[in-house]
Chain A
Amino acid sequence: MLMFLAFETMFFAGMLGVFLVFRLSRTSWPPPGEPYLPIRVTWVNTGILVASAYAMCRAHRAIRVGNQAGLVHGLGLSALLGTTFLAVQGSEWVRLVHFGLTLQSSTYGATFYTLIGCHGIHVLAAVLWLAAVLLLATRGRFSPERHVGVQLCKMYWMFVVGLWLVLFPSVYLM
């Protein structure tokens, strides 16, 4: 899992490097004619994602002491918050497309959607994985001695959240 996360880190580092080259080579930001990004809504969305990470930690802590109900509640809350994050991101993208920022409109649009879009796909994969783990948890498949599935899911979820905490300041705040 660590090797997979290291690979993912390098993958995003490459894309972030492209964005940095483009961003730092411009004297004005956003480029003329391009819309401003929705920062306030994205701050709230970031809070939602961080809350989902906290819920995930609570779920892991619960199964370590054998609390099945706590595990199910924590995983469910994480999945709900993760889905909310995706929904808000999607709605903001629809607005940006309406304002003319698309994948083909400019380099700005291409780098933005590639970077944030890839992160969104990873969050979607994490939510689907979380849903599968939640299903297994409701069937009592995990115990304090055997909960590697929860641990791995938590690792990936933490990676996705940590990645957003790097992408958000780089893309939205810089």
Chain B
Amino acid sequence: MKRKFLVFGFALIGAVLVVPAAARACAVCGLGPDVAGDPTARGFYWGILFLMAMPFAVAGSIGAWLVYRYWRTCAGRWRKEVGLPFAWTHKESER
């Protein structure tokens, strides 16, 4: 079930990349960043792009931090239960 969702998700991203005209549905974004003689459109373009990216940046940062904390906890547990025979220093072996 999980694999189906992943395949569907990637297929959707691929479809959007193959048909870029469909992705430029926004009337302002479709104009592009360098609209001759219209700096207002350029301002709106970059402003929209920035605001669109922000939720992903915030959620991604929180997610990445949570994954990092989980890996650190797992690594700590591994080091204590399994890694002890492989300790290189007295400090690592906690003696």
Residues of A within 8 A of B (CB): 2, 6, 9-10, 13-14, 16-18, 20-27
Contact = CB atoms under 8 A, between A and B. Distances in A.
Given A13-B51, A14-B51, A17-B50, A6 B43 contact: no
B50 to A, nearest CB: 6
What DSSP secondary structure best describes chain B's contact surface? helix
B14 interface: no
A21 B47 contact: yes
Contacts of A17: 47-48, 50-51, 54
Contacts, number: 45
What DSSP secondary structure best describes chain A's contact surface? helix
A26 B47 CA distance: 13
B50 A13 contact: yes
Nearest to B45: A24
A131 to B, nearest CB: 28
Contacts of A26: 39, 43
A2 B69 CA distance: 14
22 contacts: A2-B62, A6-B58, A9-B58, A10-B54, A10-B58, A13-B54, A16-B50, A17-B47, A17-B48, A17-B54, A18-B47, A20-B43, A20-B46, A21-B43, A21-B44, A21-B46, A22-B43, A23-B43, A24-B46, A25-B39, A25-B42, A27-B39
